[in-house]
């Protein structure tokens, strides 16, 4: 089912009881975030705030806040259906015959070269602000978190053309409002927008930019998708393929760019590569930590176009689970067949919310020879944005990768620390605050598959011991309650599957290393394989919170090591005295005054207690 625009999708959600209108006045500064955050974490409906203080336009948020709503938005009954659609495209069942290959070339051409459809009368250009009329403060852009540097557009579809080839790109890069007609443009070093700006600089020209807000949900998803660099495949083509029809676009008013005709708002303008960059941030990011201020290009807005009665769609990112987790899952399903085409032994993979996409990947494989887990993991590191993955855990084909607990049980049962763990280095997401350098750091592979004789040091051969005859090694975990004391340990517990969880108030360099040495030598370490040292704000009784903190706070090569029989993970804060030269960011926490205000006004918003 193709939706003409975001408002038609909202109407369907309301008919299904999955969108609630809030008519009470609300503030775009923090208050909407606190309400929406509670709603998405409890699987509640989307929200339409009709009375936003200081703006004439309503705010819609949480539209893609469940797996089911994302599937509905993309026209499928289940996200696994996305994999089926792509698998049909790349099905090589025709074999190597000329007819079979021609069939696949034709299907790929139809999907990848589905050009947008140009229209003259675009709803998004019903109202136009030009020049001095432009005032971004009139649009209800949210300030999401207390330490944010200002209001940020959180669902922007940023459109540029390659200055040399004219190739189109659309990406979702956060946009901080700086003044009535300027914003920051958060183009990271690996992003296509950065490459376009660098080319414009070499040519000595400005780079035209359009920022669309809205469109139909398939386009919003497409802007987040990690598309491979295939000629003819861009975000408009992907959206067209998902919706089954060419995407409607129109030419901008003050820029020569195609913009989605069915958007709610479009900001038109330019970035001048000769201009000094502006300090952007902080921003409460999808990692659950603040991204600290840094220099980024300035976007000058020359015009704003919109519908006569637009809705401002927004999202929030922060501590998982958040709405972006469901978009990530859609990308998992969509690109699984392509990954399997390149690495055919992959059965399934999953990026759990605790890993905020790039920090943790579970992958199950059909294993047939020793070392295959490392072959697969290294192959994944070479696939597009999977290069940012920090920890990859490889399990056998019968393990359900979406079962978080089951995977970690496999790790303690089948991965011996040191023998079945391997660190390496590579590109890291520039938003990662703990890596050894900006965009560069350590990675960890954990082989939690059933081992072949060669992998355990046996003289036997896999040719003699076939897969069906392999007997998995046994490890008997044991949890104790009489745990040792150590300076700075605020809380600790052991789990029945072999993990020792610690919340550490770190005040001196080397404290985590000393703790690991002391705990590994203690009798309580018997029956434990992993020592997870988290920071002082971590709830050791919440395993998701522990892993989220650990994965954010480690450089795998520096902070994960074998201590006795344990694999120690140092997820505590890193100190300058330890050679960490960058500033350590805070975790995102809402102001208590806002929490109390939302509690007091919950009945005024008209929202049921179950989502409070």
Reported as a single tens digit per residue, the pLDDT across 537-562 is: 999 999 999 999 999 999 999 999 99
Tokens 């403060």 sit on residue: 137
pLDDT band for 230, please (50, 70, 90 cuts): low
Average pLDDT over residues 345-362: 94
Mean pLDDT of 401-409: 97
Listed in order, strand segments (DSSP E) in 13-150 are 19-22, 46-49, 59-61, 117-118, 127-130
Contact 498, 412 (CB under 8 A): yes
Distance CA 373, CA 393 (A): 9
Q: Which residues contact 421 (CB under 8 A, 6 or more apart)?
A: 415, 444, 445, 446, 447, 560, 562, 567
Say what the pTM is.
0.91
Is residue 445 within 8 A of residue 374, CB to CB? The reply is: yes
pLDDT band per the 50, 70, 90 thresholds, residue 462: confident
Question: Which tokens sit at 580?
Answer: 């960490």
Tell me the backbone φ, ψ of residue 269, rounded to 5 degrees: 170, -150
Does the pLDDT at position 74 exceed 50? Answer: yes
Residue-level pLDDT at 540: 97
For residue 478, give the nearest of 495, 491, 465 by alpha carbon.
495
- Give the pLDDT score at 117: 87
103-117, 383-397, 539-553, 588-602: range with lowest mean pLDDT: 103-117
Position 104 pLDDT exceeds 50: no
Which tens digit of pLDDT belongs to each residue from 177-201? 999 999 999 987 777 888 999 999 9
**pLDDT on residue 319:** 93
Distance CA(71)–CA(73), nearest Å, equals 5
Reported confidence tier of residue 1, pLDDT bands at 50, 70, 90: low
Mean pLDDT of 453-461: 82
pLDDT, the chain, mean: 91
Per residue, the 3-state secondary structure of 431-452, as one string, reads CCCCCCECCEEEEEEEEECCCC
The structure tokens 């355990």 sit at 456
Which two tokens mark 462?
Answer: 């896999």
Sign (positive/negative) of CA torsion 285, 65, 351, 72? negative
The pLDDT score that the predictor gives to residue 90 is 57
- Is 285 one of the catalytic residues? yes
H or E, element range at 412: helix 404-414
The mean pLDDT value for 492-501 works out to: 97
Does the pLDDT of residue 522 top 90, yes or no?
Answer: yes
At 80, the pLDDT band (50, 70, 90 cuts) reads: confident
Residue 29 scores a pLDDT above 70: yes
What dihedral angle (degrees, nearest 10) is formed by the CA atoms of 595, 601, 607, 612? 30
**Residue 413, number of CB atoms within 10 A of its CB:** 18
Q: What is the pLDDT, as a whole number, of residue 470?
A: 65
Q: Could you give the C-alpha distances from 94 to 337, 343, 509, in angstroms and in order?
A: 17, 20, 61
422-459 CB burial, b ≥16 within 10 A, e <16: beeeebbbbbbbbbbeeeebbbbbbbbbbbbbebeeee
pLDDT tens digits, 160-179 = 999 999 888 999 999 999 99
What 8-state DSSP symbol labels residue 29? Answer: B
Point out the catalytic residue in the list 148, 234, 285, 447.
285
* The pLDDT value given to residue 229: 65
Distance of alpha carbon 235 from alpha carbon 224, whole angstroms: 9
- Strands (DSSP E) contained in 19-131 are 19-22, 46-49, 59-61, 117-118, 127-130
pLDDT above 50 (res 495): yes
pLDDT of 243 over the 90 cut:
no
Burial class (CB in 10 A: 0-12, 13-18, 19+), 417: buried
| C-alpha to C-alpha distance for 143 and 314, rounded to whole angstroms | 11
* Predicted pLDDT of residue 597: 97
């Amino acid at each position: 089912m193709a939706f003409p625009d975001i408002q038609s999708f909202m109407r369907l959600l309301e008919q299904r009881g999955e969108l609630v209108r809030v008519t009470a006045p609300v503030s775009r500064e923090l208050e909407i975030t606190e309400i929406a955050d509670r709603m998405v974490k409890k699987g509640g409906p989307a929200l339409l705030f009709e009375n936003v203080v200081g703006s004439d336009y309503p705010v819609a948020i949480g539209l893609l806040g469940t797996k089911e709503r994302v599937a509905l938005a993309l026209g499928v009954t289940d996200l696994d259906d996305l994999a089926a659609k792509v698998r049909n495209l790349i099905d090589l069942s025709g074999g190597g015959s000329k007819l079979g290959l021609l069939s696949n070339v034709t299907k790929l051409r139809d999907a990848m070269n589905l050009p947008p459809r140009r229209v003259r009368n675009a709803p998004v250009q019903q109202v136009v602000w030009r020049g001095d009329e432009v005032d971004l403060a009139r649009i209800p852009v949210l300030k999401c978190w207390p330490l944010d540097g200002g209001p940020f557009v959180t669902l922007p579809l940023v459109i540029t053309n390659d200055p040399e080839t004219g190739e189109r790109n659309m990406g979702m890069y956060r946009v901080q409002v700086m003044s009535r007609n300027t914003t920051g443009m958060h183009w990271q070093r690996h992003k296509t927008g950065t490459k376009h700006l660098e080319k414009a600089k070499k040519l000595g020209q400005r780079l035209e930019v359009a920022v669309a807000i809205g469109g139909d949900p398939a386009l919003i998803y497409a802007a987040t998708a990690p598309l491979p660099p295939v000629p003819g495949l861009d975000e408009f083509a992907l959206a067209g393929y998902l919706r089954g029809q060419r995407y409607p676009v129109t030419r901008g008013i003050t820029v020569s760019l195609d913009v989605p005709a069915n958007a709610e708002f479009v900001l038109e303008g330019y970035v001048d590569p000769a201009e000094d960059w502006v300090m952007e941030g902080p921003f409460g990011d999808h990692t659950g930590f603040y991204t600290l201020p840094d220099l980024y290009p300035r976007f000058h807005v020359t015009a704003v176009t919109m519908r006569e009665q637009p809705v401002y769609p927004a999202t929030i990112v922060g501590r998982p689970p958040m709405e972006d987790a469901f978009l990530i899952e859609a990308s998992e399903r969509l690109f699984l067949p392509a990954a399997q085409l390149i690495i055919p032994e992959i059965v399934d993979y999953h990026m759990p919310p605790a890993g905020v996409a790039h920090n943790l990947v579970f992958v199950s494989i059909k294993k047939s020879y020793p070392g295959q887990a490392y072959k697969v993991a290294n192959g994944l590191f070479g696939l597009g944005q999977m290069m940012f993955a920090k920890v990859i855990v490889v399990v056998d084909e019968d393990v359900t990768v979406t079962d978080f607990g089951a995977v970690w049980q496999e790790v303690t049962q089948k991965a011996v620390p040191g023998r079945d763990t391997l660190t390496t280095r590579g590109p890291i997401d520039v938003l990662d605050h703990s890596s050894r350098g900006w965009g560069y750091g350590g990675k960890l592979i954990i082989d939690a598959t059933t081992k072949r004789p060669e992998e355990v040091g046996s003289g036997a051969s896999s040719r003699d011991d076939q897969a069906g005859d392999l007997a998995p090694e046994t490890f008997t975990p044991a949890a104790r309650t009489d745990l040792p004391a150590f300076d700075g340990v605020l809380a600790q517990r052991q789990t029945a599957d072999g993990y020792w969880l610690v919340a550490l108030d770190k005040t001196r360099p080397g404290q985590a290393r000393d703790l690991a040495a002391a705990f590994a030598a203690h009798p309580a370490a018997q029956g434990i394989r992993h020592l997870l040292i988290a920071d002082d704000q971590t709830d050791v009784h919440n395993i998701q919170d522990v892993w989220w903190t650990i994965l954010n706070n480690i450089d795998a090569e520096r902070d994960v090591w074998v201590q006795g029989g344990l694999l120690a993970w140092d997820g505590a804060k890193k100190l300058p005295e330890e050679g960490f030269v960058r500033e350590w960011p805070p975790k995102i926490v809402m102001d208590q005054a806002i929490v109390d205000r939302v509690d007091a006004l919950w009945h005024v918003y008209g929202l049921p207690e179950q989502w409070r």
